[in-house]
Amino acid sequence: MSKLQTVLHAAFLFDWLRYAHFSGPSNTNRVALSFDDGPNTDYTKKCSIYSKGIKSRQYSFDSGHALQLSEQRPGQFDRIRSAIQVGGHEVGLHGKDLIPTWQDRIFGTMTEEDMAEGLESLKRLSVCSIKLFRPHYGQAGPNILHTQKLGLTTVLGTLSRMIHPAKPADAQIRKYQDTQPGDILIFHDGITVVWADTCILDILPTVLQQLLAKGYALGTVSKLLSGS
């Protein structure tokens, strides 16, 4: 990495720390559930069924995935959209599904125009007002500054609760056992060009049971951050 890149990286990481949200207030029993990489034909609807009793969740959709599903399987896309509206869930903007280079991870992959276009497309497809941005692969860079201009809140989630979605189910379940009040838990209900698998359907029922048994109120990221 050149000296200039190191300086830029440090500057962008500062923005990351300044604007991004890792968790919410810890003086409540609230925990937020967030699902990345959807909408996915195999997983999103099933996740929705598994967590039916839980009123609201947050989905971070890739606008490209949403467009593809809406064109290729319109009926299924409509059912996912209606489950989101009926359940009072929230949709956030995710990012472009591509294989990131190390530069992408540091400097981001989306221009301001890309983000504005993705946001408009996702609003139109999901018929939701979108308030959150969840950077794909937690990438830093100017994405977070574009997000500010677009009036979105950047959510990174609780780093100590992050685990690769294809890791063995028992390792993932153990990880979520340590959940604390105010945590933002990042799950994955889709696959990407880099991650071809997710154990979400194997872990979600057990993880939800554990969280509810501990008395946590589960909801969207926006509700957790606003304390409403």
Which residues lie near Zn ion (CB under 5 A)? 36-37, 136
Q: Tell me which H or E stretch contains 84.
A: helix 74-87
User: Cβ closer to Zn ion: 30 or 94?
Assistant: 94
Report, in Å, the least distance between residue 64 CB and Zn ion.
Answer: 12
Report, in Å, the least distance between residue 178 CB and Zn ion.
Answer: 23
Report, in Å, the least distance between residue 133 CB and Zn ion.
Answer: 12
Contact 16, 171 (CB under 8 A): no
User: Cβ closer to Zn ion: 203 or 216?
Assistant: 203
The span from the CA of 189 to the CA of 175, in Å, is: 17
Report, in Å, the least distance between residue 185 CB and Zn ion.
Answer: 15
Q: Minimal CB distance to Zn ion: which residue?
A: 136
Burial of 204 (0-12, 13-18, 19+ CB in 10 A): buried
User: Cβ closer to Zn ion: 37 or 90?
Assistant: 37
CA neighbours within 13 Å on the CB side: how many for 35? 28
User: Cβ closer to Zn ion: 40 or 153?
Assistant: 40
